[in-house]
Chain A
Amino acid sequence: MATLHAVIPREYRDSVALMQLSAALAKLPGISQASAVMGTENNLSLLRQAGMNIGGLDIGGLNNDKVSVGPNDLLIVVQGDESALPGALADAKARLSAVGLPAQTGDVRRMAPRSIAMALAENADANLALISTPGEYAAAEALKTLNLGLNVMLFSNNVSVPEEAMLKRVARDKGLIVMGPDCGTAIINGIPLAFANVVRRGSIGAVGASGTGLQEVTVLVDQLGGGISQAIGTGGHDLRNEVGGISMLTGLEYLTDDPDTKVITLISKPPSKEIADQILGKARSSGKPVVVIFLGADARSLTGDNIFGAVTLEDAARLAVDLAADRKPSPASEIVAIPPGIPRLASGQKFVRGLFSGGTFCFQATMLLQESMNVHSNTKVGGSLALNDMFKSEGHTVVDLGDDVFTRGRPHPMIDYRLRIERIAQEVQDPEMAVLLLDVVLGFGSHANPAAELAPALIAARKTTENNGRAFICVGHICGTQGDPQGLASQAEALRGTGMILTDSNAQAVRLARHIIGQATA
């Protein structure tokens, strides 16, 4: 039995790769033992004890006559038939090269594109660019991109409304679309862009001026058995008079012409009458069923001909799925039963505290809660009351933690749960807090494992509340699908494990919270 070894200086591979390499080498014909380990003294000692002859090796080069190996060098040792050993070592080096970095193995890497024009030169078929630069540069980049003949998804915010209007007019004149600025989500031909979820493809097309609103509708469509043809974001200012709803109108035209889209859904906060009339007029002439949700607007006043008004995002998704399946639209459900076993609120516990990462979820929550209570919020909805201090709740409070006030200098709360966790700890100190209302957004772009961040915070919050003789009730919903990178089922399981009550939608969660408060104060 012979032994042969090779030292690869300063070669790092992670543990899994080294173990896989050892195992692969040991399976080669003629090889009885193989080991790929870092060249530490104890590992050398172990190899010697294993009968692997590495006598020519010396730690740290203390003896210049011997080949030196150090703790940062990779040592590969193979034992077996003498004739098989050189081939095995060559195989090991080839495997390391194959999984190694191009630069380490001598390959020349092509320089990555430094501009949209360079990228387009490499990929001439591309017809959409996603721009995510600081706002001050975004409009210029978008304009250059439009002039190159590309559609634009403009993730950047802090682009002025006049610049937005200019970009959208240029795009319209060129037969292109600008999704954004501040466009956080889109699904184009099944490809999620920015914050978006993995949903089934199907016959429902959506155009949305609200990011999480569009995410919620696409997710609920998926959960209700439907599918999405395209989901086009427009940015939240698109329906302002100065911009004129140009992107929503263009998106509506695309979906009207798209043979794969059977039902169209439009999502926005209520626009001015002038803009609403333009959009509804175009929707009527599409010849396809169009579900319209202008959050906070009177849904019945929208309904007529091929237009179906919806009150909530959930209603919009349900209507769209029914229409796509040629079913009679099912009536909106407003009744949410209180699940058994929830703890009894202590006297004095009377307020809802909603902490949202999705702006549209906050908007819808404020809208629905206001039906029966006065609500303080940093999102102005109808008669909602302003907060004296956004960092401190008063009465029923619903907060959009994605507000610029909270995100200045830190990532968005869909990515970074710090702020929400701190705020939860703050809320549970308040003896008047009765129900904590949350959203959890999954999908590309969002936090990789929200439950891992939230669960310990909720367990701690429950302990604090219960130690103070109060009940801890947390209600929320997950905007996500099983196909999302985080996995809906595992996230739900982890959150339910903390006692959190999960509903199927934001609207249901809000109504349940409202119901719990109503029962307790009845």
Chain B
Amino acid sequence: MSLALATEHPVKLPVIGSHRELWAQTIGCRVPRGSQSGRVDAVFEHACNVALYSGELVVVLGCRAGKVAHGIRLTHDYRFDQGLRRGMPVRLGPDRIAFGNGHLTGLLSAARIWTPALSPGMFEWSDHSRSALSQVRDLLRDYAASSGSEFLAVVLDLNRSETLLAAMVLGVLPRLAMASRSHDCNETLSLLSQLIGLGPGLTPAGDDFIIGWLAGLALSAKAPAQLSFLQAMCAGIENLTQATTSVSRAHLHDACAKMFSERLSDLCVAISKGEPTAMLESLVAAQVAVGASSGADAAAGLMFALPPCGPIESEFA
């Protein structure tokens, strides 16, 4: 047999276009349109951040990552850390996003525009949604320890570590619950300012929690007072974002525009629709798998905003 190959290791080959030309599957609805330039701001294994000279940040993701509103997701996994480097020039055009000198090109022409499924006020308290919420809480309990999320431990009232972060979270959250329930905008924003940029990680845990909390607020905001509180929180949080990393800031901007990540949105929608257990399990697992503890921290924020007994009563009451 004369087809012996030089390598003995299985290789995963890109199957469309050349080695550095990959199709994009989706373009987030907050990715800027038109032609722009920028540079690679950060490179990770399965994603890379592009800082556009207009000041906006676009994240390009491999197919295993969840979609985000300011992100372009490719149809394939790609080792960004092996192909790109920080500072590399990037050109974003209507039909492609091109990195460096042909290092990677994402073809955008076949990608659909992705918009999160969550829309404000879609949550209805019913037996189905209450049951789904309860199941999600139980599922998150199972993940609490392994996720290392101090926020999740506090929100679910589990055994907490004796870290300063845990103490700080425990000091802030009960007050945040009361302030937000009474729609006290100033007090709520003051407490949120203590969480923003707080904690380990590129997207600090406090920011992830706030994003989840905003998702919960948006999901259940129906009455005029709730909607105006939500608007005030979004505007206020926008003003706080300078205190955190630019990567996290982009996620917070999305959240303040009520554009939450795919995984968080899908989980919210599933709870509100009272989807079956199997689906909730897979969605919770997907959410918790985001980052080191980012997914769990955001889930904690969501649970914090959607207390088990309904929108009136709260465990911190």
Chain A positions near chain B (C-beta within 8 angstroms): 12-16, 18-19, 22, 35-38, 40-43, 46, 49-50, 71-72, 101-104, 123, 125-128, 130, 132-134, 151, 155, 175, 177, 184, 188-195, 198, 230, 232, 254-255, 257-258, 260, 409-411, 415-416, 418, 444-445, 447-449, 452, 455-456, 459, 485, 494, 497-498
Q: Decide if B25 is an interface residue (CB 8 Å cutoff).
A: yes
Q: Is the CB of B202 within 8 A of A38?
A: yes
CB-contacts of B138-192 with A (<8 A): 148, 164-165, 168
Which of the four size classes fits the interface of chain B? 35 or more
The smallest beta-carbon distance between B24 and chain A, in angstroms, is 10
Q: Is the CB of B279 within 8 A of A459?
A: yes
Q: Decide if B23 is an interface residue (CB 8 Å cutoff).
A: yes
Q: Is the CB of B203 within 8 A of A155?
A: no
Q: Is the CB of A15 within 8 A of B203?
A: yes
Given contacts A101-B86, A125-B6, contact A50 B1 (CB under 8 A): no
- Identify 14 new A-B residue pairs, CB closer than 8 A, beyond the known A46-B164, A415-B76: A16-B291, A37-B200, A38-B202, A104-B85, A126-B6, A151-B3, A192-B10, A194-B13, A255-B1, A409-B110, A456-B266, A456-B279, A459-B279, A497-B276
- Tally of contacts, chain A with chain B, CB under 8 A: 199
Q: Is the CB of B77 within 8 A of A448?
A: yes
Chain B positions near chain A (C-beta within 8 angstroms): 1-18, 23, 25, 41-45, 49, 63-64, 75-77, 81, 84-87, 109-110, 112, 148, 164-165, 168, 194-204, 206, 242-247, 266, 275-276, 278-279, 282, 286, 291-294
Q: Is the CB of B198 within 8 A of A445?
A: no
User: By DSSP majority rule, is chain B's interface helix, strand, loop, or mixed?
Assistant: loop
A485–B77 Cα gap in the complex (Å)? 12
Cβ-neighbour of B202 out of A13, A22, A41, A151 (below 8 A): A13
User: By DSSP majority rule, is chain A's interface helix, strand, loop, or mixed?
Assistant: loop
Q: Is the CB of B3 within 8 A of A418?
A: no
Could you jot down 6 A-B contacts, CB within 8 Å? A12-B247, A103-B85, A188-B5, A447-B63, A497-B278, A497-B279
A316–B94 Cα gap in the complex (Å)? 48
Q: Is the CB of B244 within 8 A of A71?
A: yes
Q: Is the CB of B1 within 8 A of A257?
A: yes
Q: Is the CB of B44 within 8 A of A189?
A: no
The smallest beta-carbon distance between A59 and chain B, in angstroms, is 9
The smallest beta-carbon distance between A78 and chain B, in angstroms, is 15
Given contacts A71-B245, A103-B86, A494-B278, contact A189 B3 (CB under 8 A): yes
Residues of A close to B200: CB separation below 8 A: 15, 18-19, 22, 35-37
Which residue of A has the minimal Cβ distance to B242? A71
A461–B306 Cα gap in the complex (Å)? 28
A190–B11 Cα gap in the complex (Å)? 10
Q: Is the CB of B23 within 8 A of A448?
A: no
